[in-house]
């Protein structure tokens, strides 16, 4: 699990609770002076692709839905999945326990605080210096798969159902990702075994974004970045919007369908497809009045595995290096979030 480091910082939730009026002086380290001024286009939210997993698995509708999935991966790098097959009780259980965990007193959550040099636990990620700008959000993260990557000292005993809910949700997302990866292989016309080990590891991160009543337009819950994963599976815990994806130079707010899973192409899938499917740059904006919660499952290959581009023809130009997965993840987690900077290191030439 030691693939990066993150310096300890104060909980944003604690800051909000103790600061009274959130003046710029009090939250100065969170003020982002260079938030992207590109246009935000809410009118395009309805164009975000929606994929129906039940149609992908039905002989009558599979071909048309595979074409939609191929388009979503190639043109958007992001899509919503409905009828995903994860039982309602599993979804409701993890949602309830995430909300209850972040409602616990700070001293209880701090029992699971990140330790220096680890990505697991309660705190923040991508804090690499004492003077960088911070993100307006708290995280609770766990390595789930493979089982030997788990550090049970981080697994909360409160809420009392939390450990079981995490296990159940993780298992269901692993099954969902296996099905989705086989279908993505079909969109690429490659043997599903080529992607069979590309999602074998799982890192869960639960996200809490408090409201910022004073200057919500000057803080970010997550800075613009792509994910250092093969696929990322996101579940919105409550109905507060905040996720935005970059497309054609503009930001598009995502309006999740009820109980949909949000899926985005990660850097490692971009490398594997030699740029055919591109990882999506995204960010999280902050609501002035309402908290937002979500859970991200980062599906990645085994740490000691290799990621390399697949070529469609012998004449095709190779655009990415062949890399050890661990090498890429160390690079990704050792820098602050900054667009697709980590992926640039993996490129052999400009795309």
pLDDT of 198 above 50: yes
The count of structural domains within the chain is 1
Say what the pLDDT of residue 1 is.
44
Question: CA of 327: how far to CAs of 321, 333, 348, in Å?
Answer: 12, 10, 16
- Between residues 124 and 234, which one has the greater pLDDT? 234
- Angle formed at CA 216 by CA 210 and CA 217, multiple of 5 degrees: 145
Say what the pLDDT of residue 19 is.
57
Say what the pLDDT of residue 52 is.
97
Distance CA 324, CA 305 (A): 6
Flag whether 7 is in a domain: no
Flag whether 2 is in a domain: no
pLDDT of 92 above 90: yes
Say what the pLDDT of residue 25 is.
62
Here the CATH number for the domain that contains residue 60 is 2.60.120.330
Question: CA of 27: how far to CAs of 1, 4, 242, 268, in Å?
Answer: 31, 26, 20, 35
Contact assessment for residue 308 and residue 197, using Cβ atoms and an 8 Å cutoff: no
Flag whether 3 is in a domain: no
Say what the pLDDT of residue 128 is.
62
pLDDT of 89 above 80: yes
Flag whether 94 is in a domain: yes
Could you list the residue range(s) of the whole structural domain that residue 75 is in? Answer: 12-346
What band does 9 get if pLDDT is binned at 50, 70 and 90? low
* pLDDT tens string 21-43: 666 566 778 888 778 667 899 88
What band does 351 get if pLDDT is binned at 50, 70 and 90? very low
Distance CA 277, CA 321 (A): 16
Flag whether 5 is in a domain: no
pLDDT of 350 above 90: no
Flag whether 39 is in a domain: yes
Region 52-72: mean pLDDT is: 96
Flag whether 351 is in a domain: no
Place of tokens 């220096």: 116
Whole-structure pTM over 0.85, yes or no? yes
Flag whether 151 is in a domain: yes
């Amino acid at each position: 699990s030691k693939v990066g480091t993150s310096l300890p910082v104060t909980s944003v939730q604690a800051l909000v609770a103790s600061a009274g009026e959130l003046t710029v002086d009090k939250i100065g380290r969170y003020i982002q002076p260079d938030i992207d001024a590109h246009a935000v286009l809410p009118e395009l939210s309805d164009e975000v692709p929606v994929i129906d997993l039940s149609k992908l698995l039905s002989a009558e509708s599979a071909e048309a839905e595979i074409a939609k999935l191929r388009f979503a991966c190639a043109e958007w790098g992001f899509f919503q999945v409905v009828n995903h097959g994860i039982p309602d009780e599993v979804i409701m259980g993890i949602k309830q326990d995430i909300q209850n965990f972040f409602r616990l007193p700070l001293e209880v959550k701090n029992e699971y605080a990140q330790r220096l040099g680890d990505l697991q636990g309660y705190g923040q990620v991508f804090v690499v210096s004492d003077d960088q700008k911070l993100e307006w959000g708290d995280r609770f993260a766990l390595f789930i798969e493979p089982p030997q990557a788990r550090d049970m000292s981080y697994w909360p005993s409160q809420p009392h159902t939390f450990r079981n809910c995490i296990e159940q949700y993780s298992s269901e997302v692993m099954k969902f990702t296996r099905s989705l990866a086989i279908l993505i292989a079909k969109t690429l016309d490659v043997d599903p075994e080529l992607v069979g080990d590309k999602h074998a590891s799982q890192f869960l991160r639960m996200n809490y974004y408090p409201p910022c009543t004073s200057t919500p337009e000057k803080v970010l819950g997550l800075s613009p970045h792509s994910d250092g994963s093969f696929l990322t599976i996101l579940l919105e815990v409550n109905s507060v919007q905040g996720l935005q994806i970059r497309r054609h130079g503009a930001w598009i707010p995502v309006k999740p369908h009820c109980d949909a899973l949000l899926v985005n192409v990660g850097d490692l899938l971009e490398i594997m497809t030699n740029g055919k499917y591109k990882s999506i740059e995204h960010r999280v904006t902050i609501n002035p009045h309402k908290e937002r919660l979500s859970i991200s499952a980062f599906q990645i290959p085994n740490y000691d595995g290799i990621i390399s581009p697949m070529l469609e023809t012998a004449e095709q130009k190779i655009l990415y290096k062949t890399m050890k997965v661990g090498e890429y993840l160390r690079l990704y987690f050792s820098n602050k979030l900054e667009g697709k900077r980590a992926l640039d290191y993996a490129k052999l030439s400009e795309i």
